Amino acid sequence: MTVRLPAHVKPERYEIFLKPDLIGFSFEGEETISLVLSKPTKEITLHSAEIDIKSAEWIKGSQESIGGRVEYNKKAETATFIFPKSLKTGKGELKIKFSGILNDKMRGFYRSKYGEKHMATTQFESTDARRAFPSFDEPNQKAIFDVTLMIPGNTVAISNTVESVVKEDEAGWKVVKFAPTPKMSTYLLAFIVGEFEYIEAPLRQGSAGQGNTMVRVFTTPGKKDQAKFALDVAVKCMKYYEDYFDIKYPLPVLDMIAIPDFAAGAMENWGAVTYRESTLLIDEEKSSSANKQWVAMVIAHELAHQWFGNLVTMEWWTHLWLNEGFASFIEYLAIDEIFPEYDIWTQFISTELADAFSLDALKNTHPIEVEVGDPAEISEIFDRISYSKGASVLRMLWKYLGEKDFRDGLRHYLKRHQYGNASTEDLWKALEEVSGKPVGKIMANWTSKSGHPLIRVQRTGNRQQLIQERFFISPISKRESKDNTIWSIPINGKLMDKKSMEWTGNGKLNLGEVSLVRVDYPHQYLKSLESQVKLGKLGASDRLGLIRDSFDLAQSGNSPTTLALELAKSYINETDYIVWSELTGQLSQLDNLLALEDFYPKFQAYGREVYSKIAAKMGWDKRSGEKHTDSLLRAMALYQLGKYGELGIIREAQERFKKGSPRSAGGAGRIEPDLRGVVYNLVAGNGGQKEWNSLVKMYKEEDNQQEKDRLGRSLGLFKSKTLLKRSLEFAISKDVRFQNTLGIIVSVWGNSEGRYLAWEFIKKNWKMLKERYAGGHYFTRVFSPAGEFTKVSDAKDIEEFVKKNPTPEAERTIAQTLERIYANSEWLKRDKEGIKRFLGKV
Ligand code: BES
Ligand code: ZN
């Protein structure tokens, strides 16, 4: 369904006045929108949702003022003002008075709790600015905004620009007026009112003002010490981007604000970037290396949007990937520069590329560019296709064009479209003009078609050929889809743009895992690559790629699972975190598949064999000055080995928990932050009521969100069904913020003992969950973990449920989930006996 506003009314400027009531949870508003009418009209339609409009008036110069009546269209989320006579072509002003609710749904203009008090804050992307003020709420309706907020005297107000005037009245109210914004989209506005403290640093050398930008990080009272890391990363990122894009950040301030209740991870509002506390704050005592890395990545992502997204905005949500795919790519460039020790480009392969592969292997994936109309459709495409596949095709193009042409093309694109909107075509055009290469032609099928290729290396006699076809998660999906797409694939220095190509080499294909393809080698070929792994002759990316392809080919029915299990054993001497990270993801998937089978203990024994050497090598204790990725590897190896049942590891975790938990005498021997996840998870996985009580007590007493996340996740890992049920109830209790509920439920989902409990729980609490989260960023998580089910009967149950409870916000996700279940069931049927025999021998 397409619901665009008519094109003959264009907003140019909004003067907005808002007065939030932090006690009664409502707000009063008044706005004057300067409009241009390109033809006479009796009606003006704009977006508005859950707003009570008190009056509307059309004003033209000083002579004309016409009152209009309002008609709401709830479904289209619009309000139409109907005037008694036709309004003339040209400029005029629409003046509207309204009021609304400061809701608790983390969207639109909403409230968030700190201590016993509340702040007011906003989350507008994608289509919720209309919940704060009637507006032309589409990304290409750019305008200038003059914001004025009337707030209680003890609070501060933050918006996109700097405050320019502050007046205080006798009743204790402050009026804060902000400087006009640049020309921008509605979804990037932000208003925040509450008690905050902050730290700051100038972006460029010299003092603030005179074209310099002040970077500030805001927290609720008492937390500003946790803002240092973020401030430092932000300043470095901004410098990097100003240089890389060759365009200065145009605003005098860049504020970053930690909000206690937040729907997504973070939001790039121009000049007023909002975050969850867990994606912004770092507590040196409590934050792990993984927490730090994530905070840095999120900041780099949101700040990349200040150019990609804010300065140049997608024409319509169909091109959302220009925002999200881009930011997801560029963040790696910045982080690689700032934290070279993260080895972040190699991590890319086991994060973004892996996520892209996984979702894009489904028949129910979608093209990067996808037609969307209503808000439900829009919110659903904030997925791994727009983000990770988008980032992955950009990385491929970056390597293909060369870093310099790519960067120059981006500069060209940004300068051409700044303060405006653009489409995918516009980007290709700019890159083409700079590089002289047919970018549009090469990229067409990567962004306009679903899926990605599998390249088969085929030997017939003396001839060796590469043949491409679309890759599917399972033979069922492949059969049903009959896709003949041919991609232009950069591969080992060549461009393969036909169905097949001669190939004389015998080394690894897709070196560096640069392209979005998988490779299927003949048996002997693979064996020779395997020996190269053993001899340490392949780089980490390529070792990772071999493992990934091998497992994915098994899942998809192209080769037996035992081949992958065999290959994995040649990785026992592996020491690279990223390779282990991929292997861990793959084995976890298999672990999930086999968890309810009678021979599962044998798979656990296999798991112990795979991880014992690396876990022993890493040990429990940090070495001084060790690599960042080694800290990550330690936590991973120990947890996996413990998860597969190694008693020594479990005992050590329990021991450390006893010594380190706050309940022990004096909290002696605090647990090192990098190991807390391992410890909590293993304690829960092997614990009972007593451990459940301790973890819940710690959760309730804890104020740090990263620590809360770790504790919450561990609550999903108990084996006892009674305790898991309690964890589910706890997730929706008053002790858990709405933003953290789904994380706990998802953890129970992911536990083979908890799968069915979680699903029953979701069905039982469906109305409440939908009420709380539908339309929001993480709603699809209510369903997506069901992709771990392995039985056709499970799929049927879900199908039946959604038939009775239609859920347009998750329609595609549900189709994807069902497809995964069918794929799992087929995989298990096909390879179960083989795996069992193989494991019998290990
Ligand atoms: N623009 C998004 C935030 C967003 C997502 C708003 C979905 C509305 C709907 C932001 O830039 C973003 O992508 N945030 C990510 C974190 C990021 C580091 C991948 C998020 O919130 O998950
Ligand atoms: Zn983003």
Q: Which ligand is nearest to the CA of 355?
A: 1
Give the atom of ligand 1 at the shortest distance from the alpha carbon of 126: 8
pLDDT digits (tens, 9 = 90+) for 115-151: 999 999 999 999 999 999 999 999 999 999 999 999 9
Nearest ligand, measured from the Cα of 279: 1
Token digits of residue 678: 């391992």
- In this structure, which residue's CA is closest to atom 22 in ligand 1? 265
Q: What mean pLDDT comes out for the span 695-706?
A: 96
Distance in Å, CA 62 to ligand 1 centroid:
44
- Of the listed ranges 101-105, 182-186, 542-546, 803-807, the one predicted with least confidence: 803-807
Atom of ligand 1 nearest to the CA of 265: 21
> What pLDDT score does 733 carry?
98
Atom of ligand 1 nearest to the CA of 302: 11
Q: What number of other Cβ atoms are within 10 A of residue 359's Cβ? A: 20
Instruction: Tell me which residue has its CA closest to atom 16 in ligand 1.
Output: 265
pLDDT band at 668 (very low <50, low <70, confident <90, very high): very low
Distance CA 421, CA 426 (A): 10
Looking at residue 779, its pLDDT comes to 85
Specify the DSSP class assigned to residue 663. T
User: What does the mean pLDDT of the chain come to?
Assistant: 95
User: Among 316, 314, 413, which residue's Cα sits nearest to residue 373?
Assistant: 316
Q: How confident is the model at residue 338 (pLDDT cuts 50, 70, 90)?
A: very high
d(CA 817, CA 831): 21
Residue keyed to tokens 């199908």: 799
Task: Grade residue 2 by pLDDT with cuts at 50, 70 and 90.
Answer: low
Query: By three-state DSSP, how is residue 382 classified?
Result: coil
CA 301 to ligand 2 center in whole angstroms: 6
What is the helix (H) or strand (E) element at residue 545, kind and residue range?
Answer: helix 540-555
Distance 387 CA to ligand 1 centre (A): 9
Ligand closest to Cα of 776 equals 1
Residue nearest to atom 17 of ligand 1 (CA): 298
User: Looking at residue 661, what is its pLDDT?
Assistant: 66
The whole-angstrom separation of Cα 435 and Cα 413 is: 13
Find the mean pLDDT for residues 689-707: 97
Tokens 């979701």, located at residue: 762
CA of 357 to the centre of ligand 2 (A): 19
Q: Which residues line ligand 1 (CB under 6 A)?
A: 125-126, 264-268, 297-298, 301-302, 305, 324, 327, 382, 777
Q: What is the pLDDT of residue 360?
A: 98
17: β partners: 30, 148
Residue 798 CA to residue 585 CA, distance in Å, equals 25
pLDDT at 141: 98
User: Is the per-residue pLDDT at 31 higher than 80?
Assistant: yes
Residue 315 a catalytic site member: no
Distance in angstroms (rounded) separating the CA atoms of residues 564 and 554: 7
Mean pLDDT score, 518-524: 95
Q: Whose CA is nearest to atom 8 of ligand 1?
A: 125
- With 0-12 / 13-18 / 19 or more C-beta atoms within 10 angstroms meaning exposed / middle / buried, residue 803 is exposed
Q: Count Cα atoms within 13 angstroms, Cβ side, for 790.
A: 18
Start-to-end CA span in the chain (Å): 55
Closest CA to 675 of 713, 710, 726: 710
Q: Could you tell me the pLDDT band of residue 776, with boundaries at 50, 70 and 90? A: confident
Nearest protein CA to atom 7 of ligand 1, as residue: 777
Angle, helices 289-305 vs 673-685, to 10°: value is: 110
Rounded Cα–Cα distance for residues 444 and 39 (Å) = 38
Q: How many angstroms separate the alpha carbon of residue 820 from the centre of ligand 2?
A: 26
Q: Which atom of ligand 1 is nearest to the CA of 324?
A: 13
CA-based radius of gyration for the chain: 28
Structure confidence at residue 200 (pLDDT): 97
Tell me the per-residue pLDDT of 452-478, one tens digit each, with 9 for 90 and over: 999 999 998 889 999 999 999 999 999
Helix and strand numbers (H, E) in the chain are 27, 27
Q: Give the mutation target among 124, 777, 780 for probing the ligand 1 site: most ligand atoms within 8 A of CB.
A: 777
Measure 317 CA to ligand 2 centroid, in angstroms: 13
**pLDDT tens-place string over residues 282-311:** 999 999 999 999 999 999 999 999 999 999
Give dist(CA 26, CA 48) in Å, integer.
Answer: 16
Neighbours of 166 (CB within 10 A): 12
Cα-to-centroid distance, 169 and ligand 1 (Å): 38
Q: How do beta strands 144-152 and 9-21 pair?
A: parallel
Query: Which ligand approaches the C-alpha of residue 300 most closely?
Result: 1
Preceding peptide of 624 cis, ω within 30°: no
Task: Please write the tens of the pLDDT for every residue from 212-269.
Answer: 999 999 999 999 999 999 999 999 999 999 999 999 999 999 999 999 999 999 999 9
DSSP state of 135: B
Å from CA of 383 to ligand 2 middle? 11
Res 665 pLDDT > 60: no
Report pLDDT for 666: 46
On the question of pLDDT at 671 being above 50, the answer is: yes
Q: Kindly state the helix (H) or strand (E) to which residue 220 belongs, with its residue range.
A: none
Strands 26-37 and 90-101: antiparallel
How many angstroms does the Cα of residue 677 sit away from the middle of ligand 1? 24
Enter the tokens of residue 469. Answer: 């076809």
Please name the residue that has the structure tokens 């640069």.
Answer: 514
**Confidence grade of residue 209 (pLDDT, cut at 50, 70, 90):** low
Mean pLDDT throughout 109-114?
A: 98
Atom of ligand 1 nearest to the CA of 327: 11
**Banded model confidence at residue 753, pLDDT cuts 50, 70, 90:** very high
| Contact of 135 with 186, CB cutoff 8 Å | yes
Ligand nearest to the CA of 324: 2
Closest approach atom of ligand 1 to CA 301: 18
Determine which one of 77, 302, 513, 652 is catalytic.
302
Q: Which residue has the tokens 């590469």?
A: 466
φ/ψ (deg, to 5) at 505:
-75, 175
CA of 264 to the centre of ligand 1 (A): 6
Ligand 1 atom nearest 297 alpha carbon: 18
At residue 536, the pLDDT reads 82
**Ligand nearest, relative to CA of residue 268:** 1
pLDDT over 90 percentage in the chain: 90
Residue 839, pLDDT score: 96
Q: Which residues lie below 8 Å from residue 617, measured CB to CB, with a gap of 6+?
A: 575, 637
Q: Which atom of ligand 1 is nearest to the CA of 125?
A: 8
Q: Which of 267, 310, 322 to mutate to test the pocket of ligand 1 (most atoms within 8 A of CB)?
A: 267
Ligand 1 mutation pick, 125, 269, 293, max ligand atoms within 8 A of CB: 125
Q: Residue with the nearest Cα to atom 3 of ligand 1? A: 267
What is the C-alpha separation between 299 and 258, in angstroms, rounded?
12
**Residue nearest ligand 1's atom 20 by CA:** 265
pLDDT above 90 for 169: no
Can you give the pTM of this predicted structure? Answer: 0.97
